[in-house]
Amino acid sequence: MTRPETTETQQTVSLTIDGSPVEVRPGATLLEACRQMGTEVPTLCYLETLTPVNVCRICVVEVERNRTLVPACSRIAEEGMVVKTDSDRVRHSRKMILEFLGSSVDLSAAEDEVGEWMEQYEAEPGRYGPQSEPTAAGERDRRHPGHHGEVNGRTAEGVHQPTKVDNTLYVRDYSRCILCYKCVEACGIDAQGTYAIAVAGRGFDARISTEMDLPLGDGACVFCGNCIGVCPTGALMFRSEWELRRAEMWDPDTQEVTRTVCSYCGVGCNLELHTQDNRIVKVTSPQDHDVTSGHLCIKGRFGYDYVQNLGDVDRSSIDEVLAKARRPAPE
Amino acid sequence: MDLRFTDAQPTAAEREAVESVLGPAGVESHQRVRTASNLRIFATGMQSVADRRHLLLPALETVQSEIGWVSEGALMHICRELSVPPAEAWGVATFYSLISVDPSPPVVLHICDDIVCRRAGALELMEGLEANGRTPATRWLPSPCLGQCDRAPAAYVQRAGEEDQVLSSIDPASRPIGPDGSIPSTNGQTDTSAVPQAGEPHLRLLRRVGTVDPRSLDSYLDAGGYRALEEAVQMGPAALVAEVKASGLRGRGGAAFPAWIKWEAVANSPDPVRYLICNADESEPGTFKDRVLMEDDPFSVIEAMTISGYAVGARQGYLYIRGEYPLATRRLRSAIHQARRAGLLGESTRNGVSFDIDLRRGQGAYICGEETALMNSIEGLRGEPRNKPPFPTVSGLFGKPTVINNVETLCNVLNIVTDGGSSFAASGTPQSTGPKLFCLSGSVRRPGTYEVEFGATLGDLIALAGGLPEGRRLRAVLLGGAAGSFVLPDLLEMPLTFEAASEAGVSLGSGVIMAFDQHTDFGDILARIAAFFRDETCGQCVPCRVGTVRVEEALARIRRDPQPGDLELIEEIDLAMRDASICGLGHTAAIALRSALELGLLE
Ligand SMILES: Cc1cc2nc3c(=O)[nH]c(=O)nc-3n(C[C@H](O)[C@H](O)[C@H](O)COP(=O)(O)O)c2cc1C
Ligand code: SF4
Ligand code: SF4
Ligand code: SF4
Ligand code: FES
Ligand code: FES
């Protein structure tokens, strides 16, 4: 055997992105390469802390000699690749994906970038017609694969349905669900290891579900809230946030975020307490925090009631709304 | 992993059904053996895979077939036995259209209302059933193509605790099933098969079809069966791969990919654990050729898999067959059993080859014919295609190097071994070598599976099938299936070769030739195709999950009241689906529709 080749040649991979050369570490994705050179690539189902599922396809880029576009979030950079991130084909697919989502899902509580991309790619979700009527509670959860009802094309079919409110801690509004699989990954293999939720059904009727569509409390859920932490569209929401939004009192502009360390145990999880009117309205953990990667347990996520007493004599209206969040069923 | 189950318990019958697949509760998997009477126990050959998750679908399928539906108690029992999170098992069970998670009557009829059957009276048939109502003993549901288009209309019957079956050539004016679930014996053919060319001397793939007894190994041996395996063993694996390379054999499942490239990659893999998969999912509307091979010459499929597994160094093969093929399933199971008993399959056969086959039944999902979805389905996951790369030759079934080929592709290997690769390459055309099966259906006198040498024209094939019935003129042909495209009679002179098709911008797909005459309501056919893709998309990626719905809606508008811009919208959707979808379903979902609109078939 000859001496092993100097590893120098393998230390970086060179490719061209939008005409500029770039060198990345071996194993880096095209997304990483793009970010390294400051090229913006939209993502929805990708998160640094989760295994890429590459299903939303918003991150597609054009790679020379590939018949189709490729997902930047999961395609590994190869030596000599020639990548375009803003070609007509790329722009067209991104625009259509945004239109498909915008015409079928309620994106009003989605991350701010989504609205910006809609403008940037000139997406017009409205051109598929008016939204179809929301389905009755549980109807989508009972659909059998392989069949669907009459289609007349007068409306654009969507996933709109009543919010699932079955506990006091968080709600599931699957009208807002883009099926990015992030919550499934966070609940299962990538963080929590509980596997309380999975994708059920098939095709347009596919949905996030517990086993047999059980209420959360009757299944395996341990209420760590990690699924809420990763949801990009507000489909999973603190009950407190949901109640405040219903009362039209949710006001992010006046909210403050205080960083602290969870006092329940000695692990040292960082918490971000979101307060409005001095009331804690939701709790997150920084995604880049090396202890939590954004994930918490039920105590850190929801166990904040002991620091605020909503039963005070001098109840302001926010307290009344937050008190509603303590009742099992919505009013 | 600390799993939580609900308290629901199985009934005794459910417990027994699960036990028939997983073995007695609480017994370790390596102690479970496959008995002669019970071919359902899948423990053999799987010792290297500690995880028993792959038994999830067989367990669900068995409960479905024995009990008629999968209750919460049965699901929880399976989850406890296999340590599968209930939410995931629910996700798997609800993915398949043949599995019911709601209480179901013991007899369920799946009536095909797909392209050919709906033109052969399926709608009338369903109307009659609707009028007669549903009874506690039976229920019917519409079904996508059942692979019986040469004997339309057809239905697939699930019967709790009894053998499932297929009804074909049903009289549309009849009621194919009594209120008590009984099937009038006069109604339709059940489970029979034949090919119009049976016995013709020039046949190679179909030469034994209709002439040997598909139930008997002796009959197969008398007809020259297993001589190819003997020769193959004398040649050795490397020479086999070389012969397949010399033969120029390209895949018959739809993509026309050269077989040797996959074979060589896996044969040369440093990983000693490899798999061979025979793709017998055959769910492309209009396709029924693999069914003929499996029903009427099942031993050839088993022998071909054995040789192929030997060539690429796989000791375990999987045969994944669609659930709606009960006759083929029974014959293959029996063939596997007989071959094992005769020492032609198993740990160490009398040829010194170590190769065994597990038969897995799909449960109603077209997408599971896509190679990586099929692998996920076997592994007990939802049948969602994987992103490629990595390709299956590098990371396939259970993450191991895997060769996956179509039934017809594999059956060609027998001729390549006995006649030599170069002799195979000498037939057909230089780029499309060997024989090819085509599935003729629709407006032809003698629908069926036909074998020709590559090079025959579209017109030749239609003539072979007897041409169109009296008074009918050819208006268009759907070539390649729902994922293919419509062509007009001006292409009748086109040779049906991969190269000629690709030059004409069309695809041979899985060999579908569906003829339509001047009386065809193309609007209805297109609506059915759009509905098919919307029903069958796995739903994983946005462009295909929503795109198929938007295409269906746009088509409904066009049919009602065409507006300028409609066609452009479908083109825009198609472009995004082709460019940004994960798999071939999304890439091809709007092609047939676009071709029909562009050819003016709706006018
Ligand atoms: C949606 C979809 C369905 C498919 N169904 C089948 C099928 O039923 N049978 C089959 O052999 N190939 C099917 N294929 C093609 C397979 O992915 C794969 O290419 C094939 O099994 C390879 O075998 P071959 O090279 O011998 O053709 C399908 C592909 C797609 C995208
Ligand atoms: S709260 Fe935690 S356990 Fe419950 S579904 Fe979300 S991630 Fe899973
Ligand atoms: S609920 Fe949120 S995180 Fe889960 S799939 Fe839907 S959008 Fe994604
Ligand atoms: S293209 Fe369609 S079938 Fe294929 S992975 Fe995407 S959603 Fe599933
Ligand atoms: S971010 Fe890449 S596919 Fe979703
Ligand atoms: S069997 Fe009905 S269309 Fe194929």
Pocket test for ligand 5, best of A29, A70, A73 (most atoms within 8 A of CB): A73
pLDDT tens column, B312-371: 999 999 999 999 999 999 999 999 999 999 999 998 888 899 999 999 999 999 999 999
Q: Which atom of ligand 1 is nearest to the CA of B407?
A: 11
Q: Is the pLDDT of residue B30 over 70?
A: no
Could you tell me the pTM of the whole model?
A: 0.95
Ligand 2 pocket check for A227: Cβ under 6 Å = yes
- What percent of chain B has pLDDT above 90? 87
**A223 Cα to chain B: minimum distance (Å):** 14
Contacts of A57 in chain B (CB under 8 A): 541-543, 580-582
**A274 Cα to chain B: minimum distance (Å):** 32
Q: Are residues B326 and B456 in the same domain?
A: no
Q: Is the pLDDT of residue B41 over 90?
A: no
Give the residue with greater pLDDT, A234 vs B41: A234
Q: Is the pLDDT of residue B27 over 70?
A: no
pLDDT tens column, B377-396: 999 999 999 999 999 999 99
How far apart are the CA of B397 and the centre of ligand 2, in A?
A: 30
Instruction: Please tell me which of the candidates B6, B543, B548 has its beta carbon nearest to residue A96.
Output: B543
d(CA A274, CA A283): 6
Give the model's pLDDT for residue B148: 97
Ligand 2 pocket check for A171: Cβ under 6 Å = no
Binned at pLDDT 50, 70 and 90, residue B453 comes out as very high
Give the model's pLDDT for residue A2: 41
Instruction: Please state the rounded mean pLDDT for residues B167-194.
Output: 75
| Cβ contact B542–A56 (<8 Å) | yes
| Cβ contact B556–A152 (<8 Å) | yes
Binned at pLDDT 50, 70 and 90, residue B61 comes out as very high
Domain CATH number, residue B398: 3.40.50.11540
Q: Are residues B508 and B534 in the same domain?
A: no
pLDDT tens column, B536-550: 999 999 999 999 999
Give the model's pLDDT for residue B23: 87
Q: Specify the length of chain A in residues.
A: 331
Q: What is the DSSP letter of A266?
A: S
| Interchain CB contact of B308 with A (< 8 Å) | no
Task: Give the torsion sign (CA, B289, B294, B300, B302).
Answer: positive
Q: Are residues B258 and B358 in the same domain?
A: yes
Contacts of A196 in chain B (CB under 8 A): 85, 87
Give the model's pLDDT for residue A318: 87
Asked if residue A33 lies in contact with residue A17, where contact means CB atoms within 8 angstroms, the answer is yes
pLDDT tens column, B510-519: 999 999 999 9
CA-nearest residue, atom 2 of ligand 1: B370
d(CA B524, CA A235): 38
The neighbour count for residue B162, using CB atoms within 10 Å, is 13
Q: Which atom of ligand 4 is nearest to the CA of B537?
A: 3
Q: Are residues B390 and B484 in the same domain?
A: no
B284 to each of B149, B162, B496, B509, how far by Cα in Å? 11, 27, 18, 9
Buried b (16+ CB within 10 A) or exposed e, A225-256: bbbbbbbbbbbbbbbbbbbbbeeebbeeeeee
Give the model's pLDDT for residue B34: 44
How far apart are the CA of B221 and the centre of ligand 2, in A?
A: 59
| Cβ contact B382–A146 (<8 Å) | no
Nearest residue of chain B to residue A148 (CA atoms): B535
Q: What would the CATH number be for the domain defined by A165-324?
A: 3.30.70.20
Max CA-CA distance within chain B? 69
Domain boundary among B492, B517, B542: B517
Give the model's pLDDT for residue B385: 98
- What percent of chain A has pLDDT above 90? 79
Strand partners, A270: A261
| Cβ contact B87–A89 (<8 Å) | no
Question: Which domain covers residue B138, as residue numbers?
Answer: 107-190
Asked if the structure places residue B201 within a domain, the reply is no
Q: Is B420 left (phi over 0), alpha (psi -120 to 50) or beta?
A: left
Looking at all shown ligands, the one closest to residue A298's CA atom is 2
Q: Are residues B541 and B501 in the same domain?
A: no
Asked if the structure places residue B205 within a domain, the reply is no
Q: Are residues B155 and B179 in the same domain?
A: yes
For chain A, first and last CA: distance in Å?
Answer: 76
**A296 Cα to chain B: minimum distance (Å):** 18
At a CB cut-off of 8 Å and minimum separation 6, what does B470 contact?
none
Looking at all shown ligands, the one closest to residue A55's CA atom is 5
d(CA A105, CA A107): 6
Q: Which atom of ligand 2 is nearest to the CA of A223?
A: 1
| Pair of tokens at residue A218 | 């009757």
| Pair of tokens at residue B163 | 């053998």
Give the model's pLDDT for residue A309: 59
| Interchain CB contact of B255 with A (< 8 Å) | no
Instruction: Please state the rounded mean pLDDT for residues B580-599.
Output: 97
Strand partners, A16: A21, A82
Asked if the structure places residue B196 within a domain, the reply is no
Task: Give the count of domains, chain B.
Answer: 5
**Residues of chain A whose pLDDT is less than 70?**
1-10, 306-315
Asked if the structure places residue B98 within a domain, the reply is no
Asked if the structure places residue B212 within a domain, the reply is no
Instruction: Please tell me which of the candidates B2, B543, B553 has its beta carbon nearest to residue A156.
Output: B553
**Complex ipTM:** 0.94
d(CA B279, CA B559): 37
Asked if the structure places residue B233 within a domain, the reply is yes
Contacts of A89 in chain B (CB under 8 A): 575, 579
Pocket test for ligand 3, best of A55, A209, A231 (most atoms within 8 A of CB): A231
- What percent of chain B has pLDDT above 70? 94
Q: Are residues B181 and B234 in the same domain?
A: no
Give the model's pLDDT for residue B192: 61
Contacts of B90 in chain A (CB under 8 A): 198, 200, 209-212
Q: Is the pLDDT of residue B566 over 90?
A: no
Looking at all shown ligands, the one closest to residue A215's CA atom is 2
Q: Are residues B550 and B507 in the same domain?
A: no
Q: Are residues B271 and B331 in the same domain?
A: yes
A and B: number of Cβ contacts within 8 A: 200
Ligand 1 pocket check for B585: Cβ under 6 Å = yes
| Cβ contact B87–A210 (<8 Å) | yes
Give the model's pLDDT for residue B46: 43
Q: Are residues B71 and B137 in the same domain?
A: no
Contacts of B89 in chain A (CB under 8 A): 211
In whole numbers, what is the pLDDT of chain B averaged over residues? Answer: 93
Domain CATH number, residue B179: 3.40.30
- Residue-range domain boundaries for chain A: 165-324
Q: Are residues B419 and B442 in the same domain?
A: no
| Cβ contact A60–B580 (<8 Å) | yes
| Cβ contact A204–B549 (<8 Å) | yes
Q: Are residues B159 and B226 in the same domain?
A: no
Domain CATH number, residue B545: 1.20.1440.230
Q: Is the pLDDT of residue B477 over 50?
A: yes
